[in-house]
Amino acid sequence: MAHRIRISETHLKAFFQSPIFHRVFQALTTFLCVLWWFRVPAPGKAILALTIAAVLVTVEGIGGWQRAIWLMLIFALAFLENRAINNDRTQFAKEQREARQRENNSFSDIATGLSKSIGASNAQFQATMSKESQVLDTTKSVGDLARRNLQNVTGGDTYAVVEPFLSQRPDRDVPLSIKNRGTNILTGVSVALYDAGVWMWGTHDSIVHSNENRITGITLHPGERLMLPREINPLQFMKIKENEGEGKDYMYRVFVSIAAQNFTSTEYLDLKQDSDGKWNYTYKIYRQPPIGAKKDGQLVMDCLLERVDWSKDFNNPNGLELGPCVGGVERAPLHSLN
């Protein structure tokens, strides 16, 4: 039974990654775009198609051209939605102008009812403005809701960080937790722990073992922290000198890979023992750009998301600092890990 389930999951994943699947939906979406270009839809319909296209563009394993086509279709649907809103407003204003014109023509020859006509026209105008304001407010609310839904589907710029839970017993293994640092939901989060940062012949078996023991299926709501089903012995990870300086203390580095539906980040979690033998930690976490991504002809390097200084309590870290990748700031190259 378990074997058949694995086969079904594989087939389902292959189905959603199939070029034919995406070509069919891209053709349908293109047909809608052409149809709505000549027959402007009601406001909100293009938003629904845009949301479905935004979900499909996040599917892992699809080709670069297919992803590019989805992005172009998303921009086209956004343009059509804006056009539909403008058309609806223009049509509404035209109907109101025609209604007011008919009223003015009906009462223009009635001298005795001039005062009542002015009062009725003013009341109608106020009602019209109130209705138009309600339409605009509703349109804005729908747009905001669509934007929030899209952010929750894609994850936006939200990222997660792995933190050690340091107990008072230095002789015990260290439990790990993961926390959502952003305002959007992260789904399908997975965590892998490595004792080496470079894949080479001497680290091949260790890295393969770490991938086989990847923690998967994590969902994190904004600000949520979960304990991971994994404890580590820092002494079993890479031993290096702090800041690579002579006479400095030794520390142990855990290479953490955190993948979510929006992007993958790499965390360098370092631990060392103080004079009492208790563990302290520090970390830096970087956002990984798409493979081969370039800007101004140069490869885009990993970009710092967050760092903390040596700390003992993840509830009160020392020197917490956000990097240039947070808040939409342009990426900066990674010069050093220390």
Q: What per-residue confidence (pLDDT) applies to 109?
A: 61
Statement: residue 230 has pLDDT above 80: yes
3-state secondary structure of 142: helix
3-state secondary structure of 162: strand
Q: Of 6, 8, 5, which Cα lies nearest the Cα of 16?
A: 8
Q: What per-residue confidence (pLDDT) applies to 333?
A: 39
pLDDT-derived band at 19 (thresholds 50, 70, 90) equals: confident
Statement: residue 225 has pLDDT above 50: yes
- The whole-number average pLDDT for the span 49-62 is 71
Q: Of 192, 224, 222, which Cα lies nearest the Cα of 208?
A: 192
CB 318 within 8 A of CB 287: no
Give start and end residues of each alpha helix (H) in 186-330.
204-212
Statement: residue 242 has pLDDT above 80: no
Which residues does residue 308 pair with via DSSP β-bridges, in sequence order? 283
pLDDT-derived band at 137 (thresholds 50, 70, 90) equals: confident
Q: What per-residue confidence (pLDDT) applies to 329?
A: 41
- Hunting for tokens 């203390």 — which residue is that? 249
- The whole-number average pLDDT for the span 68-79 is 79
Q: What per-residue confidence (pLDDT) applies to 259?
A: 94
Statement: residue 57 has pLDDT above 50: yes
Q: What per-residue confidence (pLDDT) applies to 292?
A: 66
Q: How are beta strands 250-259 and 238-241 bridged, if at all?
A: antiparallel
Residues across the chain = 338
Highest mean pLDDT among 16-25, 55-64, 157-166: 157-166
Q: What per-residue confidence (pLDDT) applies to 111?
A: 59
- The whole-number average pLDDT for the span 45-52 is 75
- Mention every residue, 6+ apart, whose C-beta is less than 8 A from residue 115: none
- Least confident segment among 154-158, 165-169, 193-197, 258-262: 165-169
Q: How far apart are the first and last CA of the chain?
A: 49
Give 243-278 pLDDT, tens digit per residue: 654 556 789 999 999 999 989 999 999 999 888 888
Phi, psi for residue 65 in degrees, rounded to 5:
-65, -40
- The whole-number average pLDDT for the span 305-312 is 92
pLDDT-derived band at 328 (thresholds 50, 70, 90) equals: very low
Q: How are beta strands 238-241 and 225-232 bridged, if at all?
A: unpaired
Statement: residue 125 has pLDDT above 70: yes
Statement: residue 48 has pLDDT above 90: no
Statement: residue 221 has pLDDT above 90: yes
**Tokens linked to 34:** 């052409």
Highest mean pLDDT among 44-53, 121-130, 133-142, 251-260: 251-260
Q: What per-residue confidence (pLDDT) applies to 175?
A: 92
Instruction: Determine the Cα–Cα distance for residues 257 and 193; give it in Å rounded to an integer.
Output: 7
Q: Where are the domains of the chain?
A: 2-154, 160-328
> Greater confidence, 302 or 185?
185
> Greater confidence, 308 or 13?
308
Q: What per-residue confidence (pLDDT) applies to 252?
A: 92
- Hunting for tokens 């539909």 — which residue is that? 84
Q: How are beta strands 264-273 and 279-287 bridged, if at all?
A: antiparallel
Mean pLDDT score across all residues of the chain: 79
Instruction: Determine the Cα–Cα distance for residues 315 and 220; give it in Å rounded to an integer.
Output: 18
pLDDT-derived band at 191 (thresholds 50, 70, 90) equals: very high
Phi, psi for residue 304 in degrees, rounded to 5:
-70, 125
CB 145 within 8 A of CB 48: no
- Least confident segment among 55-69, 150-164, 291-305: 55-69
10 Å CB burial of residue 162 (0-12, 13-18, 19+) is: buried
**Tokens linked to 318:** 């020392």
Q: What per-residue confidence (pLDDT) applies to 240?
A: 86
Statement: residue 161 has pLDDT above 90: yes
CB 276 within 8 A of CB 282: no
Q: What per-residue confidence (pLDDT) applies to 335?
A: 34
**Tokens linked to 151:** 């952010």
Give start and end residues of each alpha helix (H) in the chain.
2-17, 19-38, 45-57, 64-107, 114-154, 204-212
pTM above 0.85, yes or no: no
3-state secondary structure of 254: strand
